Amino acid sequence: MKTFNRKKIINGIEYMYEIAPYYDPKTKKVRQKSTYIGKCIDGKVKRVREKMVKDVFSYGELLPIEKIISHYQIDKFLAKELGKVQAQCVLAMCMGRLLKGLSMCNIQDWYEGTWMYYRQRDLPLSSSSITRLLGKIGDTRLQDKLSGHLIKQLKSKRTILYDITSVSSYSDLIRLLEWGYNRDGLDLPQVNLSLVLDKTEGIPLGYEIYPGSISDVVTLQNTMKKFEVHGIKDFTMVMDRGFFSANNIDLLLENAMDFIMAVPERYQSVEKLISSMVREIERPKYLKKLNDEILFVKQVMIPIGKHKLNGYCYYNPSRAQKEKETFYQRLVRAKDLIEKLNPDKGVREKAFDIMGNLSPYFSITLTKEQVCAQIKEKAVARRLNKKGIFIIACQGDYSWDTCLSAYKEKELIERSFDVLKNDLKLSTPEVSKDSTLKGLMFISMIALIIRMRIMTVLKNADLSKTYSFEKMMLQLEKSKAIVFDNGQVIYSELTKKQKELLVPFDAVPKS
């Protein structure tokens, strides 16, 4: 059977096909196979080559990130300080760290699958190039310039959240590593990292790295000096009770600094104040309400050294009950474990290991047959009387609710440390030089700025309960940029969920 040609009109356009008849033994009928020849143009058949997909790039997850980078002009800052190519390298490293938690040696492989690679294919992202760039950044004080750049954009009175953490390493070559109080409980030398966050924006404004043995008072003093250099004095520092000390209080008051800080019980004057509050605070005249939370609040004066600080004593009945239940559970668990011990030699040491810091609340008696753990009722009563009571000191004109709300926002900085160490893989960095560690810290800090701002925007848009950062990025990375071999680019259609996520960032692409 001979082949022949046939015209087909599709959407008003003529196409020519070759028709090849053949016998189908299954149906015992003659069938036809058609093969495309070309398009009929001006009476002639011209074969039009079909477009072929050349590349598919990850695209959607970059949209909100690039919007934030542009909003804070981080790209312009980096280009000014490092040059355009190295600025793009820094941003590529930041995004690889942010989106995938990648080590620097894997950045190039990831980068080649992203839309950034289509726009800039020749970035030097080999391991050796990245190491040199990190060292270059670490040998400068680029983080100070970044702080100044960010502070200039946030000109109103700021509430500053301040804290310090430890970053440990196995390296023997980093000179900054020293033994000190390790906040992660790791038996490793460390560097100390202090971090300053802007409460309103929810982003880090600056950081500093110190040898692991440097005390907190020194880090606080240096942070205050850095803010003065940038011309910023009108702000409030919110700090955890770990910073409450006579030295730090002296320093803050000498510099006329506004602060809000939780007060620990380790001072005898504070312990007496709390004991007096146990008998007095639960009165109707001190009853308050904050965001559906019932509280009793009384303004107090807190004697510390030569100073008397203004502050507020808070009693939360709901929190007191939870703390009491938790304490009772610990007591019962310890009592059960102790009384299961055999009354042999060394049993007292085993009992004290089980009790830990609960030992003041037990009396241990031994017989030949058993170990008896008696709970001390008066000691327990004294401990439980103070449950739910806490004191916040402040310097400046702050109401009880402003103090409490600002202090609760401190969880932002705790979350930042968690993100930095776990999600951004900075708990035990695999670097071997001081300069490389500092450069890696700079990369991680920009990644942290972007991530924390994304979470703040999601929270303000009432989307944070539905979407975590990871869940948001999983949705957005489904959007692809498809490149054909003729150079045409097609972007996949955004879904309803993707548009919902991009709208708060004003990052929906214009069609």
What pLDDT score was predicted for residue 95? 92
Look at residue 223 and tell me if it is in a domain.
Answer: no
Look at residue 381 and tell me if it is in a domain.
Answer: yes
Instruction: Give the mean model confidence (pLDDT) for residues 318-328.
Output: 89
The percent of residues in the chain predicted with pLDDT above 90, rounded, is: 23
The number of folded domains in the chain is: 2
Final residue of a domain: which of 341, 367, 385? Answer: 385
Q: What is the pLDDT of residues 52-95, one digit of tens each?
A: 767 888 889 999 999 999 999 999 999 999 999 999 999 999 99
Look at residue 284 and tell me if it is in a domain.
Answer: no
Q: Is the pLDDT of residue 474 over 90?
A: yes
Look at residue 21 and tell me if it is in a domain.
Answer: yes
Rounded to whole angstroms, how far apart are CA atoms 68 and 454?
8
Final residue of a domain: which of 339, 360, 385? Answer: 385
Instruction: Give the mean model confidence (pLDDT) for residues 283-301.
Output: 90
Q: What is the pLDDT of residues 342-396, one digit of tens each?
A: 888 888 888 899 988 899 999 988 888 888 999 999 999 888 888 888 999 998 8
> 126, 141 in Cβ contact below 8 A?
no
What pLDDT score was predicted for residue 300? 93
> Hey, which residues does 483 pair with through a beta bridge?
55, 489
Between the alpha carbon of residue 509 and those of residues 28, 136, 247, 271, 488, the distances in Å are: 56, 36, 53, 59, 17
What pLDDT score was predicted for residue 27? 80
**pTM for the complete prediction?**
0.68
Look at residue 494 and tell me if it is in a domain.
Answer: no
What pLDDT score was predicted for residue 291? 77
Instruction: Give the mean model confidence (pLDDT) for residues 10-37.
Output: 81
Look at residue 81 and tell me if it is in a domain.
Answer: no
The alpha-carbon radius of gyration of the chain (Å, integer) is 32
Between the alpha carbon of residue 349 and those of residues 330, 354, 364, 422, the distances in Å are: 19, 9, 11, 37
Closest by Cα among 464, 474, 502, 481 to 67: 502
Look at residue 346 and tell me if it is in a domain.
Answer: yes
Q: Which domain holds residue 33?
A: 4-48
Instruction: Identify which has the larger pLDDT, 414 or 243.
Output: 243
DSSP secondary-structure letter at 464?
T
Closest by Cα among 248, 246, 253 to 267: 246
User: b/e per residue, 91-122, with b = 16+ CB within 10 A?
Assistant: bbbbbbbbbeebebeebbebbeebbbbeeeee
Closest by Cα among 207, 239, 173 to 447: 207
Look at residue 355 and tell me if it is in a domain.
Answer: yes
Q: Which residues contact 144 (CB under 8 A, 6 or more apart)?
A: 206, 226, 229
Final residue of a domain: which of 350, 385, 420? Answer: 385
